[in-house]
């Protein structure tokens, strides 16, 4: 429903509504409809310049010379929007903030932190990680255990191995995304064929056909870069294999989605061990340090750790005391795959640990799980939780729920006390200053009211809220 609302608001040019959906409801900006169109495309097509500017600054994808970029440019209603698109810088601070996992994987590839194998391709150097390559490609997993076994530097000298195509394949392994100059597509397909990546070849051929049809029907357009967007489930399944392998053998039953006979022979190349309640989790610094500043500081503080694993000499052991092995398992899967198993029984505990380990993305995931558990009897407690852990979307969902049941809610003393507390939290508040919680509830009561019956219902709810405020002596 939120995605449909986003498309509709972009067509209408409702900047305030789009801002609310993106910043409060956390709607994905680059979602596509049945016609393969994005919210940015509709904003360009309908000529809403201010909205286009906001979408670009918030992370909407529109790279020059790509299919999406050229489509937006061609469909733009005005020259000012075309200039805006051409001046667009793809990576902004806001963009990086929006998708922690995608940014982490891209940074891991670009910076090569904790790299353990380097490829040299006709003079160009690529720092990579054995664990990622093995998890994402059976071909690389086999080669790293046979022909390339034990090598820290691997030279690829075959004249048909193009460095640009190799870089694109690595990007695909790490992020699920692929950007390649159209002149190198055949080189990329040849390399994919060597690596036995049939699905990637099919995707490239389909995208080439799509671009050719677009260019032939739109004179003046020029697509120079071919882009494949990631399939999240494929990437997450591949990275989940690393989490499967990190689990102690006695804990593997019931966790993960892949058959565990794969993990028995899968070489994951761990370089750090976390010991939790006597269980040894064989992990990777690249993931734990890249995903969490807490673990980065912890690992760096233990760089001279004397204890190592007897079975894997050289792999340091760090003992964690403030978490159970069950909760650490949830953290483990999130760190590797950006997803984990949450239920109403464990979500509060996972949320607390996610906050301690500085994992904002996991906190948001917990927030989505908590939102599905909203009921009349827990909405006030849930709102307090959202405020405590800075879960903006859950906080908004709670106030939206409160707006729906406000006529029953005003009869509860706990709700009145909550309003008093929120009013007291406003610094130097005057008698007639607004109260954030009340303002949010009013907004949800009044938003999208169009029919006469809906107006009457909204007025009744607002009257009930005003009556409560009068009774407790607050005017806002």
At 399 the pLDDT is 93
Q: What is the mean pLDDT of residues 274-286?
A: 95
Q: For residue 452, what are the CA distances in angstroms to 5, 70, 171, 405, 457?
A: 22, 44, 54, 20, 9
Summarize pLDDT for 24-78 with one digit per residue, the tens. 777 888 888 888 889 999 999 999 999 998 998 888 888 777 777 888 888 888 8
Report yes or no: 328 and 276 within 8 Å, Cβ to Cβ: yes
Q: What are phi and psi of 259, to 5 degrees?
A: -60, 135
Summarize pLDDT for 449-476 with one digit per residue, the tens. 777 788 888 899 999 999 888 888 876 6
Q: For residue 303, what are the CA distances in angstroms to 73, 116, 295, 314, 476?
A: 51, 17, 12, 12, 56
Domains 100-230 and 234-368 share a fold: yes
Neighbouring-strand partners of residue 117: 128
Interatomic CA distance for residues 422 and 386, integer angstroms: 13
Interatomic CA distance for residues 10 and 72, integer angstroms: 13
Token look-up 């509830």 returns 441
> For residue 250, how many other CB atoms are within 10 A of its CB?
7
Q: What is the mean pLDDT of residues 423-444?
A: 74
Half-sphere exposure (Cβ direction) of 373: Cα atoms closer than 13 Å: 18
* pTM of the predicted structure, to 2 decimals: 0.80
Q: Which CATH superfamily is domain 2-95 in?
A: Ankyrin repeat-containing domain (1.25.40.20)
Mean pLDDT across the chain, nearest whole number? 87
At 302 the pLDDT is 64
Residue 329: Cβ-neighbour burial (10 angstroms; 0-12, 13-18, 19+): buried
Interatomic CA distance for residues 314 and 312, integer angstroms: 6
Total residue count of the chain as it appears in this document: 476
Q: In the chain, how many H helices and how many E strands?
A: 26, 8
Tell how strand 279-283 and strand 272-276 pair up: antiparallel
At 201 the pLDDT is 93
Quick check: 434 pLDDT over 60? Answer: yes
Summarize pLDDT for 141-161 with one digit per residue, the tens. 999 999 999 999 999 999 989
Interatomic CA distance for residues 134 and 267, integer angstroms: 7
> What is the rounded end-to-end Cα distance, in angstroms, of the chain?
32
Interatomic CA distance for residues 299 and 316, integer angstroms: 9
Q: Which of 11-25, 145-159, 425-439 is predicted least confidently?
A: 425-439
Give me the DSSP letters along 85-140: HHT--S--HHHHHH-HHHHHHHHHHHH-TT--EEEEETTEEEEE-HHHHHHH-HHH
Summarize pLDDT for 82-123 with one digit per residue, the tens. 888 887 764 444 444 446 788 899 999 999 999 999 999 999
Interatomic CA distance for residues 21 and 399, integer angstroms: 15
Summarize pLDDT for 372-395 with one digit per residue, the tens. 999 999 999 999 999 999 998 899
Q: What is the mean pLDDT of residues 248-262?
A: 61
Radius of gyration of the chain (CA): 26
Quick check: 436 pLDDT over 90? Answer: no
Give me the DSSP letters along 443-469: HHHHTT--SHHHHHHHHHHHHHHHHHH
Summarize pLDDT for 302-338 with one digit per residue, the tens. 655 567 787 888 889 999 998 999 999 999 999 999 9
Interatomic CA distance for residues 264 and 309, integer angstroms: 19
Q: Identify the CATH class of 100-230.
A: alpha beta
Domain 234-368 has CATH 3.90.1150.10: no
At 58 the pLDDT is 84
Q: What is the mean pLDDT of residues 272-297?
A: 95
Query: Domain coordinates of the chain in residue numbers?
Result: 2-95, 100-230, 234-368, 375-471
Quick check: 256 pLDDT over 70? Answer: no
At 305 the pLDDT is 56
What three-state secondary structure class fits 230? Answer: coil
Quick check: 448 pLDDT over 80? Answer: no
Beta-carbon contacts of residue 53 (< 8 Å; ≥ 6 apart)? 84
Summarize pLDDT for 179-197 with one digit per residue, the tens. 899 899 999 999 999 999 9
Q: Percent of the chain beyond pLDDT 90? A: 55
CA angle 167, 168, 172 (to 5 degrees): 115
Interatomic CA distance for residues 137 and 145, integer angstroms: 13
Neighbouring-strand partners of residue 127: 118
- Token pair in block for residue 197: 């990546």
Summarize pLDDT for 188-240 with one digit per residue, the tens. 999 999 999 999 999 999 989 888 888 888 777 778 888 888 877 788 888 99
- Token pair in block for residue 352: 């607390």
Interatomic CA distance for residues 309 and 60, integer angstroms: 46
Summarize pLDDT for 331-377 with one digit per residue, the tens. 999 999 999 999 989 999 999 999 999 999 999 999 999 999 999 99
pLDDT band at 405 (very low <50, low <70, confident <90, very high): very high
């Amino acid at each position: 429903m939120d995605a449909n609302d986003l498309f509709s608001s972009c067509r209408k040019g409702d900047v305030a509504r789009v801002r609310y959906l993106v910043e409060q409801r956390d709607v994905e900006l680059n979602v596509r409809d049945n016609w393969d169109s994005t919210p940015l495309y509709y904003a360009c097509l309908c000529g809403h310049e201010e909205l286009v500017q906001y979408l670009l600054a918030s992370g909407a994808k529109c790279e020059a010379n790509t299919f999406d970029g050229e489509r937006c440019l061609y469909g733009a209603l005005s020259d000012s929007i075309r200039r805006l698109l051409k001046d667009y810088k793809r990576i902004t601070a806001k963009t990086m903030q929006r998708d922690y996992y995608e940014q982490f994987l891209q940074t891991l590839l670009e910076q090569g932190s904790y790299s353990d194998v380097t490829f040299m391709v006709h003079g160009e150097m690529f720092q990579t990680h054995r664990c990622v390559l093995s998890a994402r490609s059976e071909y690389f997993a086999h080669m790293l255990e046979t022909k390339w076994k034990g090598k820290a530097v691997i030279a690829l000298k075959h004249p048909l191995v193009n460095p640009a195509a190799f870089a694109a394949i690595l990007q695909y392994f790490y992020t699920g995304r692929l950007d390649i100059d159209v002149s190198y597509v055949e080189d990329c397909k040849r390399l994919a064929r060597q690596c036995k990546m049939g699905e990637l070849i099919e995707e490239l051929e389909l995208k080439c056909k799509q671009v050719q049809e677009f260019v032939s029907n739109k004179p003046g357009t020029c697509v120079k870069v071919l882009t494949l967007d990631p399939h999240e489930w494929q990437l997450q399944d591949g990275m989940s294999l690393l989490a499967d392998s990190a689990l102690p053998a006695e804990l593997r039953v019931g966790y993960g989605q892949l058959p565990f006979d794969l993990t028995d022979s899968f070489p994951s190349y761990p370089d750090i061990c976390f010991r939790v309640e006597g269980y040894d989790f064989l992990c990777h610094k690249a993931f734990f340090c890249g995903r969490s500043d807490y673990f980065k500081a912890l690992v760096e503080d233990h760089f001279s750790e004397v204890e190592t694993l007897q079975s894997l000499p050289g792999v340091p052991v760090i003992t964690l005391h403030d978490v159970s092995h069950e909760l650490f398992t949830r953290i483990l899967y999130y760190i590797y795959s950006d997803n984990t198993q949450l239920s109403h029984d464990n979500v509060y505990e996972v949320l607390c640990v996610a906050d301690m380990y500085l994992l904002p993305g996991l906190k948001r995931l917990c927030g989505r799980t908590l939102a599905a558990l909203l009921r009349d009897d827990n909405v006030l407690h849930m709102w307090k939780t959202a405020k405590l852990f800075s879960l903006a979307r859950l906080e908004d969902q709670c106030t939206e729920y409160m707006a729906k049941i406000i006529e029953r809610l005003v009869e509860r003393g706990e709700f009145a006390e909550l309003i008093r507390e929120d009013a007291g939290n406003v610094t130097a508040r005057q008698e007639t200053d607004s109260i954030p919680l009340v303002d949010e509830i009013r907004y949800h009561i009044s938003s999208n009211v169009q029919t006469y019956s809906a107006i009457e219902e909204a007025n009744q709810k607002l009257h009930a809220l005003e009556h409560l405020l009068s009774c407790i002596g607050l005017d806002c």
